[in-house]
Amino acid sequence: MIYTGNSKNLKIDPYEECPCDSGKKFKFCCYQEARKVKHNGYKTPDYSDSRINHMVHKTWEDTDFKVCLGFEKENCNGDIKNAHSLQNNRILNRISVNNHLYKFSFKVNKTGPVGYFQKISKNKASAFFGFCDYHDTELFKPIELHDYDNTELQNFLFAFRSHSLEYHLKLRKLEMQKEVFKLNPSMMLDESGVYVYKVAKLDVEDCAKNHEMFKIDYLNGDYSKIKTIHRKLDYEVPFATCTSFAVNKDLNGNIINDIYSTDEEDMPSVYLNVYPIENGTNIIISYHENDERFYKTYFTQLEQLDNDELTEYMNFLIIEYTENVFFNIDFIENLESKSKESLLESFQSSVNLLMKFDLIDTGNYYNFNLFQDVDQSSVSL
Ligand SMILES: [Zn+2]
Ligand SMILES: [Zn+2]
């Protein structure tokens, strides 16, 4: 999250609910403690980098939780599974090598987070505790058991699953920031800390609104409100993603959503899935009709792009907006070092302005192409 330092209201209101979840107002809860710590100066513990890294990752792991985001709760049945947002058999199999993939990850040390490509087991890729056994199996049958055919129901389900994954993630991020406040209460009086907290809270509220939208459509059996562009490429890309996010600017550079703002405005999402199939790749991008005033023009612009223009733009969009992207191991390992560095740093630059300027300066900003034919790229070695 980029804190640009020019946002308004970067304070926790005294009569706002305290971030510690006590149910009390901030003024009558953690405020005094926060002031005391701020006044005395927070002493950063002198831990080793590996201990800091371990602590941050442990805190993040602890935010994980199980929920079923399915509708008609009376049908919930079975354990909450670590369900895949990208299909294990159909999609992840296609990009994994010896059952492994790469994803973006961070090591955290005293100077902050440092990105790297982490090798993970295919079984852990893109999985989250967002559905009970029943809903995970039943709800998604039309996209799990059938090839994509651009039906309204399939488009609805792809969008809904991207939304659910992000909703779960956003709830965890809010929890993470609350943990940071517990560790260092003075952060509750710190602009950058409050900024992260407010954005996380607004993200969760936006997701909750979107969830209601999906729910109403689903209960009405009306899948026509998800507006979708589908493109099929005639080659297999070496990655897959399932994600949703609010787009900042349209293709002409006009602001769609002020994503850095902490004002309480709606921040509607687009839903994006890109994944390889046999001898091809599906790109499925959608928005909800209720958000037409935000996205109609943007989608018209996207529709007018030919495949080359669209993939060039997607190359940017995916890396700028999501961490839920999984790469073929050979693809990453065979990337020329400059492209590999560009991929990793362009990803990090979405939350690090200085890095972004550096990359632009050195001409290495988005200097890579994810939309390569996997076979071609391995043949060329
Ligand atoms: Zn409190
Ligand atoms: Zn359920």
Cα torsion angle, 221, 226, 232, 233, sign: negative
C-alpha 44 to ligand 1 mean position (Å): 21
Q: What does the alpha-carbon distance between residue 381 and residue 371 come to, in Å, rounded to a whole number? A: 17
Contact 300, 85 (CB under 8 A): no
Q: With a cut of 50, say whether residue 305 has pLDDT above it.
A: yes
Residue range 51-73: mean pLDDT, rounded = 94
Residues in Cβ contact with 293 at an 8 Å cutoff, skipping those fewer than 6 apart: none
Characterize the bridge pairing of strands 239-245 and 112-121.
Answer: unpaired
Domain ranges, ordered by start, for the chain? 12-41, 49-379
Ligand closest to CA 132 = 2
CA of 75 to the centre of ligand 2 (A): 6
| 8: pLDDT strictly greater than 80 | no
Structural tokens at position 275? 């994944």
Q: How does pLDDT run across 203-213, given as a tens digit for each residue?
A: 999 999 999 99
Residue range 306-329: average pLDDT?
A: 96
Looking at residues 272-278, what average pLDDT do you find? 96
101-118 per-position pLDDT tens digit: 999 999 988 888 899 999
Confidence of residue 7 (pLDDT cuts 50, 70, 90): low
Residue 260 has pLDDT above 90, yes or no: no
C-beta separation of 295 from 244 below 8 A? no
pLDDT in tens, 352-380: 888 899 999 999 999 999 998 866 544 44
- Spatial contact of 328 and 374, defined as CB atoms under 8 Å apart: yes
Contacts of 206 (CB under 8 A, 6+ apart): 246, 266, 267, 268, 269
- Which residues line ion ligand 1, judged by CB < 5 Å? 18, 20, 22, 29-30
pLDDT of res. 234: 96
From ligand 1's centre to the CA of 60, what distance in Å?
20
148-190 confidence digits (pLDDT tens)? 999 999 999 999 999 999 999 999 999 999 999 999 999 999 9
CA of 84 to the centre of ligand 2 (A): 15
